[in-house]
Amino acid sequence: MTGSDDNLGRDGASRPGPTDATVLVTGGAGFVGSHLCEALVADNEVRVLDDLSSGCPADVPPEATIVEGDVRDPATVREATAGVDVVFHEAALVSVAESVEKPLESDAVTSDGTLHVLDAARREDARVVLASSAAVYGHPESVPVTEDEPKAPTSPYGVAKLSADQYALRFNDLYGLETVSLRYFNIYGPRQNPEYGAVVSVFLDQATAGDPITVEGDGSQTRDFVHVDDVVRANLLAAETDHVGEAFNVGTGESVTIRELAETVRRATDSDSDVVHTDPRPGDIDHSLADVSKARERLGFEPTVSLEDGLTALHRERAAATPDPGDQATTD
CATH number at residue 241: 3.40.50.720
Residue 12 forms part of a structural domain:
no
Which residue, 132, 129, 127, 130, is CA-closest to 178?
A: 127
Q: At residue 154, what is the residue type?
A: T
Cβ atoms of residues 130 and 168 within 8 Å: yes
Q: Which residues pair with 55 in a beta bridge?
A: none
Catalytic residue flag (residue 157): yes
Domain membership of residue 131 as a residue range: 22-256+282-320
Residue 214 forms part of a structural domain:
yes
**Active-site residue identified among 157, 167, 184, 188:** 157
Q: Say what the pLDDT of residue 35 is.
A: 98
Cβ atoms of residues 164 and 135 within 8 Å: no
Q: Say what the pLDDT of residue 2 is.
A: 38
The pTM assigned to this predicted structure is 0.92
Residue 184 forms part of a structural domain:
yes
Residue 163 forms part of a structural domain:
yes
Residue 99, CA distances (Å) to 154, 196, 239, 289 in order: 11, 11, 29, 23
Residue 154 forms part of a structural domain:
yes
Residue 250, CA distances (Å) to 87, 185, 225, 255, 296 in order: 18, 6, 10, 13, 10
> How far separated are the first and last CA of the chain, in Å rounded?
59
Q: Say what the pLDDT of residue 330 is.
A: 38
C-alpha 79 chain-centroid distance: 25
Q: Please, what's the b/e burial string for 215-231 (b: 16 or more CB within 10 A of its CB; e: otherwise)?
A: beeebebbbbbbbbbbb
CB neighbour list of residue 180: distance below 8 Å, 6 or more residues apart: 127, 128, 129, 130, 168, 238, 239, 241, 243, 244, 245, 246, 247, 248
Residue 101 forms part of a structural domain:
yes
Q: Say what the pLDDT of residue 329 is.
A: 43
Residue 158, CA distances (Å) to 94, 103, 116, 279 in order: 10, 11, 19, 23
> Count of domains in the chain?
1
Please give the chain's pLDDT, 332 residues, in tens: 334 444 455 545 567 899 999 999 999 999 999 999 999 999 999 999 999 999 999 999 999 999 999 999 999 999 999 999 999 999 999 888 899 999 999 999 999 999 999 999 999 999 999 999 999 999 998 999 999 999 999 999 999 999 999 999 999 999 999 999 999 999 999 999 877 668 999 999 999 999 999 999 999 999 999 999 999 999 999 999 999 999 999 999 999 999 999 999 999 999 999 999 999 887 778 899 999 999 999 999 999 999 999 999 999 988 887 665 454 443 33
Cβ atoms of residues 13 and 78 within 8 Å: no
Which residue, 182, 208, 201, 205, is CA-closest to 310?
A: 201
Residues 117/119/121/123 CA torsion (nearest 10 deg): -150
- How far apart are alpha carbons 86 and 229 in whole angstroms? 19
- How far apart are alpha carbons 309 and 157 in whole angstroms? 30
Residue 187 forms part of a structural domain:
yes
Residue 2 forms part of a structural domain:
no
Q: Say what the pLDDT of residue 319 is.
A: 85
